[in-house]
């Protein structure tokens, strides 16, 4: 599992997917999220603007990442 470190209070799901390298662009993130291919804390989430906080886990295409704060 990869760790995504953030310095702010939260990161949006689309941004987190790009930061983790799971997708290459915001457009690709939007598509995979809207098609229900992304899970947040084990549940499918279709909101690109979903706020992820430290300790949240998101997954896509068999890859997982955890959000960690500074």
> Residue 7 is part of a domain; what is its CATH number?
3.10.290.10
Residue 29 structural domain:
2-69
5: helix, coil or strand? Answer: strand
Q: What is the pLDDT of residue 63?
A: 96
Nearest to 63 by CA among 16, 25, 26, 10: 16
Find the mean pLDDT for residues 26-37. Answer: 96
Q: Summarize pLDDT for 45-68 with one digit per residue, the tens.
A: 999 899 999 999 999 999 999 999
Q: How many domains does the chain have?
A: 1
């Amino acid at each position: 599992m990869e760790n995504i470190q953030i310095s702010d209070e939260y990161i949006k799901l689309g941004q987190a997917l790009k930061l983790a390298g799971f997708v290459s662009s915001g457009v690709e993130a939007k598509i995979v999220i809207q098609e229900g291919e992304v899970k947040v804390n084990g549940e499918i989430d279709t909101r690109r603007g979903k706020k992820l906080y430290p300790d949240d886990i998101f997954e896509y295409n068999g890859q997982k990442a955890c959000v960690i704060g500074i």
